[in-house]
Amino acid sequence: MLEIVSRFRLQGTPIGCVDFGSGHINKTYLVVTNYPHLYVLQNVNTRTFPDANGLMRNVILVTDHIRKKIEDPRQVLQLVPTVDDRLYILEEGNQLWRMYEYVTGSVCLDQVESDEDFRQAGKAFGMFQRQMADFPAEQLVEVIPNFHHTPKRYEAFHQAIEKDKKNRAIEVEDEINFFLEREASAGELVRLMESGELPLRVTHNDTKLNNVMMDEATREPLCIVDLDTVMPGLAAYDFGDAIRYGASEAAEDERNLSKVRMSLGLYRAFAEGFVGVSRDSLTALERETLPEGARLMTLECGMRFLTDYLQGDTYFHISRPEHNLDRARTQMTLVRDMENKWAEMKRILREV
Ligand code: GN1
Ligand code: MG
């Protein structure tokens, strides 16, 4: 590890490197030097992201674009160059390493501590929509093709059930049926996108609360991290994935399902933040589809967890045997809760 660290142009000499963050895909480390200065080192998972150069090109294009529009340099991720002036290291075996400046004075939350925190997160992702509105989305590489194409995610789910590699389908019949019952309703947003009724946007696609760095003093958003899945997509994906994760009253892998529900108060707070900032850059139909984005992203993510469970846990990092199944069940619980609160979700969105 030290060998990799020493290839970046750092202030000071590295004195420590520890595991950092809670991502499910990449390996992330915090590096500290004797300067003292902090950096975030990442080994990007190129099984998930095989087009390493395309991915880094997206990150560079997006951060350069945002950098032109901000005052405080902490408001955008900043890559640290290598000693030979590259912005990342790509080695044999498609090993991708990159280093970011640590965002000074920031915190990120795995769960909100107040409605206000979540309103601020809404502002952060709404701001991202606004900052990227004048960037041609088609310039970005589709790093994971069809990432939020729910009908294609269903195809993969069907295949996993048929193959049933680990003989697990029998024990999760109820869970499988839950997703199959909702298949017919899962193609609406993709249909509206393909017909051109919904515009393609630059979207983040992984708008979990813990991807927003907030100022530790003011609790206002500083910058958005985890830009690996930035791609052309729909505004409803970004709104929806944020609600899926952040408006839930429990963790994504909570085992006690009686604790899992979607808070309408948090939903409202996020909607106020998000729509408040991005209103003028969204069309009326886009605003109307935001609640469906929340339901759909939750359904899709739950199905992805269950697919991975059926395939033998090869995609998401797990730290216990049934981790993916637990995650699938929280998402199902949230989808049901949203279905029960559907009329209110629509009403709140019209109000904000
Ligand atoms: C993964 O690595 P992380 O935790 O930021 C996943 C997202 C899922 C999320 C579920 C590239 O994101 O799509 O919504 O886990 N990222 C990828 O927590 O698949
Ligand atoms: Mg992340």
Q: What is the pLDDT of residue 176?
A: 98
pLDDT at 80: 98
Q: Does domain 2-104 have CATH number 3.30.200.20?
A: yes
Average pLDDT of span 314-330: 97
Q: What tens digit of pLDDT does each residue of 55-111 get?
A: 999 999 999 999 999 999 999 999 999 999 999 999 999 999 999 999 999 999 998
Residue of 108, 208, 298 to mutate, ligand 1, most atoms within 8 A of C-beta: 208
* Pairwise pLDDT comparison (336 vs 22), residue with the higher score: 336
Give the closest residue (by CA) to ligand 1 atom 19.
25
CB 92 within 8 A of CB 260: no
Looking at residue 22, its pLDDT comes to: 84
Residue 211 Cα, ligand 2 centroid: separation in angstroms?
5
Q: In the chain, which segments carry CATH 3.30.200.20?
A: 2-104
Tell whether the model's pLDDT for residue 44 goes beyond 90.
yes
Return residue ranges of the chain for CATH 3.90.1200.10: 115-351
What single-letter DSSP state applies at residue 81?
Answer: P
Which tokens belong to 328? 């699938």
Q: Encode pLDDT of 111-141 as tens digits.
A: 899 999 999 999 999 999 999 999 999 999 9
CATH of 115-351, one of 3.90.1200.10, 3.10.180.10, 3.40.50.300, 1.20.1070.10: 3.90.1200.10
**How confident is the model over 187-211, as pLDDT tens digits?**
999 999 999 999 999 999 999 999 9
Q: Is the dihedral of CA 236, 239, 243, 245 positive or negative?
A: positive
What sign results for the dihedral spanned by CA atoms 132, 149, 175, 162?
Answer: negative
Nearest bound ligand to CA 328? 1
- Nearest ligand to the C-alpha of residue 24? 1
Give φ, ψ of 292 to 5 degrees: -65, -35
CB 301 less than 6 A from any atom of ligand 1: yes
Query: CA 234: distance to chain centroid?
Result: 13
Q: Identify which of 83, 75, 76, 80 has the alpha carbon closest to the alpha carbon of residue 98.
A: 80
Q: What is the pLDDT of residue 84?
A: 97
- Identify the pLDDT of residue 2: 86
The predicted model gives 233-253 an average pLDDT of 96
How large is the greatest C-alpha to C-alpha distance in the chain, in angstroms?
57
- Percentage of residues in the chain having pLDDT higher than 90: 97
Measure Cα distances from 231 to 136, 190, 238, 325 in Å.
11, 15, 11, 28
CA 186 from chain centre, in angstroms, equals 20
3-state SS, residue 318: coil
Mean pLDDT, the chain, rounded, equals 96
Question: Which residue, 27, 221, 219, 239, is CA-closest to 124?
Answer: 221
Banded model confidence at residue 18, pLDDT cuts 50, 70, 90:
very high
d(CA 338, CA 336): 5
Confidence class of residue 156 from pLDDT cuts 50, 70 and 90? very high
pLDDT at 172 over 90: yes
Is the per-residue pLDDT at 1 higher than 90? no
Provide the pLDDT for residue 326: 98
| Top mutation candidate among 44, 152, 316, 324 for ligand 1, by most atoms within 8 Å of CB | 316
For residue 223, the cross-strand partners are 213
